[in-house]
Amino acid sequence: MALVNEHFLKLPGSYLFSDIAKKVNTFKATHPDQDIIRLGIGDVTQPLAPACIEAMHKAVDEMANKSTFRGYGPEQGYDFLTEAIIKNDYTPRGIQLSNSEVFVSDGAKSDTGNIGDILHQDNNIGVTDPIYPVYIDSNVMGGRAGTLQENGKWSNIVYMPCTAENNFIPQIPDKKIDILYLCYPNNPTGTTLSKEELKKWVDYALVNDTLILFDAAYEAYIQDPSIPHSIYEIEGAKKCAIEFRSFSKTAGFTGIRCGYTVVPKELTGTTPQGERISLNSLWNRRQSTKFNGTSYITQRAAEAIYTPEGKEQIKQTINYYMTNARIMKDGLVACGLQVYGGENAPYLWVKTPKGTPSWRFFEQILHETHVVGTPGVGFGPSGEGYIRLTAFGEHDDCIEAMKRIKNRD
């Protein structure tokens, strides 16, 4: 008889965005003539950059020719892409990396979920709250979360609230945490950390031998030059942090699937007996065993992002979405709502009026305006009383959505 991983049974019955989809589909079934504007799930709407399309076509032609055909590629990624990543994303910021410290993958979601494969079950976890659900759920699956309590929190997870009251800046814990998740620019709140604030976390990690898992999937949306794009801009971070990056929102690769993870060679963990072990070598072993590598065609498309043409085209797309964010923020503020984010990230974190619960407000705007958001409580207890909107829609839809919400009043 095959025994199941009973930790999966601790998870809620369905994923947040599945619940949203069910509610929206039910509304569509009962209101088939209504035009729904989706500003909830963070999928992109603009097509791939022409430079990426051209690179993919060329790669496909190579696959059709025996002399240039590619079979299995390196699980860690082709050198042409890892070199482009280092040259463009890190070297200009004074960060030195080797090819063997960059691991190309099929996206940051996969890597943030899979990184637990190389980490012991007995580690305790620290998260900012609200937080991207995958961080929590993957640790529940791995047996590190403990048990779900009545207040919606897991017993072995330290929650660090990020709310308007503390300007969405989490407080440094007063206890030792083994593994700490940070996501900046933040999903879902759209807020950021300054270099000074991020340095406090690196200093804490170095003192407490804490591993920081730093999700920088939205760094391309940073507009303020003083905000760090990488945790490795902070001295000492290579000794305590793994960084995750994604091309999904940067270059519209949500349907292509490509990202990368940086695991510095200086970074170590310990065995229960106290022996220091390279996390780079462990992750390399994990990827070599469980991952066959991102496709050659996809990696050529990702490489094209870093060409002069690709950079300009990506910049235009990011500007398109950030214009959406400005339109939405201005419109929501004009309606008298409190809005955070939307300035250095494609997410807007909207406080519900009069303390309306998140799911109730979600239902209200769906039924009254036919606009879909994401209930903030789905991201954690501190998300109650908020709703997340994304700027990845079409311009006209964003404008129309703001009109509908204004007319609701």
CATH number reported for the structural domain that contains residue 185 in this entry: 3.40.640.10
- Contact present, 334 and 406 (Cβ < 8 Å): yes
* Domain stops at, among 275, 306, 337: 306
Q: How buried is 102 (Cβ within 10 angstroms: 0-12 exposed, 13-18 middle, 19+ buried)?
A: buried
Both 277 and 245 in one domain: the answer is yes
Which of 241, 272, 306 delimits the end of a domain? 306
Q: The tokens of 241 are what? A: 């942090």
- The pTM (predicted TM-score) of the whole model is 0.96
- Say how many C-beta atoms besides its own lie within 10 A of residue 409's C-beta: 8
* 153 and 252 assigned to the same domain: yes
Q: Side-chain half-sphere of 32: how many Cα atoms within 13 Å?
A: 1
- Side by side, which strands form the sheet with 339-341? 339-341, 347-351, 386-390, 374-375
What percentage of residues in the chain have a pLDDT greater than 90? Answer: 92
The secondary element (H helix, E strand) that includes residue 62 is: helix 50-63
Q: Is residue 3 part of a domain?
A: no
**Residue 92 pLDDT exceeds 90:** yes
- Give pLDDT, residue 338: 97
Residue 389 domain flag: yes
* 137 and 199 both lie in a single domain: yes
Angle at 249 between CA 233 and CA 341, to 5 degrees: 70
On whether residue 237 sits in a domain, the answer given is: yes
In a domain, 5, yes or no: no
Question: Taking 80 as the threshold, does the pLDDT of residue 162 lie above it?
Answer: yes
Alpha helices in 276-390 (DSSP H): 279-290, 296-304, 308-334, 358-369
> pLDDT value at position 407?
87
Query: How far apart are the C-alpha atoms of 368 and 136, rounded to whole Å?
Result: 32
Q: Mind listing the pLDDT tens digit for each residue in 197-217? A: 999 999 999 999 999 999 999
- pLDDT on residue 15: 73
Residue type, 389: L
Do 239 and 138 lie in one domain? The reply is yes
Q: Where residue 343 sits, what CATH number does that domain have?
A: 3.90.1150.10
- Alpha helix locations (H) across 235-307? 248-251, 279-290, 296-304
pLDDT in tens, 223-259: 999 999 999 999 999 999 999 999 999 999 999 999 9
Identify the domain boundary among 306, 329, 362.
Answer: 306
Q: At residue 148, what are phi and psi to the nearest 5 degrees? A: -80, 125
Amino acid, res. 194? S
Beta bridge partners of 37: 371
How high is the mean pLDDT of the chain?
96
Contact call for residues 244 and 138 (beta carbons, < 8 A): no
Burial state string for 219-240 with b = 16 or more CB within 10 A and e = fewer than 16: bbbbeeeebbbbbbbbeebbeb
Which tens digits make up the pLDDT trace of 273-319? 999 999 999 999 999 999 999 999 999 999 999 999 999 999 999 99
Sign of the dihedral defined by the CA atoms of residues 360, 366, 367, 369, in that order:
positive
212 and 316 fall within a common domain = no
In one-letter notation, the amino acid at residue 286 is R
221 and 324 share one domain: no
Q: Burial code of 19-41, b = ≥16 C-beta within 10 A, e = fewer?
A: bbeebbeebeeeeeeeeebbbbb
Total domains in the chain come to: 2
Residue span of the structural domain in which 270 resides: 54-306
